Structure 1
Amino acid sequence: MKRVNVLVLGLIVAMGLSSCIKDGDPFDPDAQYQIEKPLVEAYAKAHLNSPQFHENTGIWYEVIDLGDEDSYQYKMIPHPSNPSQLVPEAPTVKANHVTRLVESNDVVESNDDEGGKTIVWNNSTVAWQAAFFPAKIRYDKDGQLLDEPFDFGGITQSGLKKGAAIKIVTPSRWAYQNASVGNIPANSPLYYEIHVVDIQEPSSGN
């Protein structure tokens, strides 16, 4: 079966979003990353107690708690419209978070609901996907080991589970790139603090 790297797909989706909003010159994600790289590193070292660097994405992070290991198992499942293609199963997740602009440290998004807010994966940033999903997904839809693990590219080995908490500092290429979204200006590296309230198997309609 063919396998699709979701971080790559997420980048394509993000680029599609940015192409819809014209905020100036044509967007060059590599050039923009070089501009943001020292800002992201400085912010991470100033605001994270034990900052770790994920080389493949340029995301800095600090795992506060990976959560209950037995609460969820990330799996590869057949694509609904193309069963020969395996894709990661997207769990139903409720989480609380704070989002800050790296350049000003201003809070631009937050929620602190007792039951958490449901994550809509199609609207989530690639940085959130990298935070939640593991580096490699090892199980099929039945919970059996795959012949070969799927290299998803997440920043932790096992992914986030129920009760997990993580802080990440991401360059804009894994957030909204050159799109202005709500209170977030174009080309904004972001800080996320994420707390996972609950994580379950997806509903049948997901």
Structure 2
Amino acid sequence: MKNITKFLMGLLCLGMIFTSCSKDDTDYNAIEEKMRQELIRQYKTKKQQAQAIKDYAATKFTNPKFSSDSTGIWYEVISEGTGDPFDYTTSIPKISVNYKGELIDGTVFAATKEGTPANYSNLVYTYRESTQGQYLGGCWYFAFVPESVNNNGTDQKVYGLLPKGLKKGSKIRLITPSVWGFDNRAYKIGDGPSIPADSPLVYTIEVVNMEKATSN
């Protein structure tokens, strides 16, 4: 269970908050206030973008589904997949995927080449910025993990889009508020076009393979 907890903390400890979390002389009241203000900011952003995201899903998705007010993500399952659900109570997965990332206007800012899936040694690296430019947004977390994981006999909600999460062969399309993408900063992946700040993102993700990561 400690692995999924570490993964969740990567989403909760943001920016300066994350830095503070690693210090022994932490002012926890200050951290709590920063997190509160961050959650308020995220809520306002999701609310501002909600209608545009809903309209996109209604017109572009065949069978759109709304995840929750907590995420603000709309999605559709293109293929259920044939693999077994991944056990997040023991590990974070190593993944191989075909994907395409778009803006609402249809601009493709990143995509795998046909027959050449992207490989990540740990799902964490899809939302943790790296020297390889692998940052793709926190929405990948919600796409992959299940709705909840069992912790010592108790189901702990982790806000995944699907009851059992993605598995080998799964294919999903989603549109996410900018807070789970690149948030309030402009961004650029490789040679792709610039992504404006506060941009909702559209991802199509096909899971080629999932297996236990060698490190978490």
Greater share of helix: 2
Aligned to 2:106: 105
CA contact (8 A) 1:7 1:130 kept: no
Task: Tell me by how many angstroms 1:14 deviates.
Answer: 7.0
Aligned to 1:159: 165
Q: 1:14 to 1:106 in 2, by over 3 A?
A: farther
Deviation sequence 1:104-138 (CA, Å, 0-9, x none): 22111111342511133433421110001101123
Task: Tell me by how many angstroms 1:7 deviates.
Answer: 5.0
Aligned to 1:68: 82
Aligned to 2:31: none
Aligned to 2:96: 94
Deviation sequence 1:77-120 (CA, Å, 0-9, x none): 4xxxxxxxxxxx21010101111111x22111111342511133
Structure 2 residue 144 is the aligned partner of structure 1 residue 132:
yes
CA contact (8 A) 2:78 2:172 kept: yes
- What TM-score do the two structures reach when normalised by structure 2? 0.72
- In structure 2, C-alpha distance between the alignment counterparts of 1:46 and 1:12, rounded to whole Å: 35
Task: Name structure 1 gaps, 5 residues minimum.
Answer: 18-25, 78-88, 140-145
- What TM-score do the two structures reach when normalised by structure 1? 0.76
SS where residue 210 of structure 2 aligns? Answer: strand
Aligned to 1:117: 118
Structure 2 residue 45 is the aligned partner of structure 1 residue 32:
yes
SS where residue 200 of structure 1 aligns? Answer: strand
| Partner AA of 1:48 in structure 2 | F
Q: 1:11 to 1:110 in 2, by over 3 A?
A: farther
- In structure 2, C-alpha distance between the alignment counterparts of 1:163 and 1:175, rounded to whole Å: 24
Q: Higher relative CO (CA 8 A, sep ≥ 6), structure 1 or 2?
A: 1
Greater share of strand: 1
| Partner AA of 1:98 in structure 2 | K
- In structure 2, C-alpha distance between the alignment counterparts of 1:129 and 1:14, rounded to whole Å: 18
CA contact (8 A) 1:59 1:168 kept: yes
Aligned to 2:186: 180
Task: Tell me by how many angstroms 1:32 deviates.
Answer: 2.0
Aligned to 2:205: 194
Q: 1:16 to 1:36 in 2, by over 3 A?
A: farther
Task: Tell me by how many angstroms 1:6 deviates.
Answer: 4.6
| Partner AA of 1:97 in structure 2 | Y
Task: Tell me by how many angstroms 1:34 deviates.
Answer: 2.0
Task: Tell me by how many angstroms 1:74 deviates.
Answer: 2.0
The alignment of Structure 1 onto Structure 2 pairs a total of residues equal to: 178
| Partner AA of 1:111 in structure 2 | T
- In structure 1, C-alpha distance between the alignment counterparts of 2:89 and 2:143, rounded to whole Å: 17
Task: Name structure 2 gaps, 5 residues minimum.
Answer: 19-37, 129-134, 189-193
Root-mean-square deviation (CA), in Å?
Answer: 2.7
| Superposition misfits of 4+ residues, deviation over 6 angstroms | 14-17
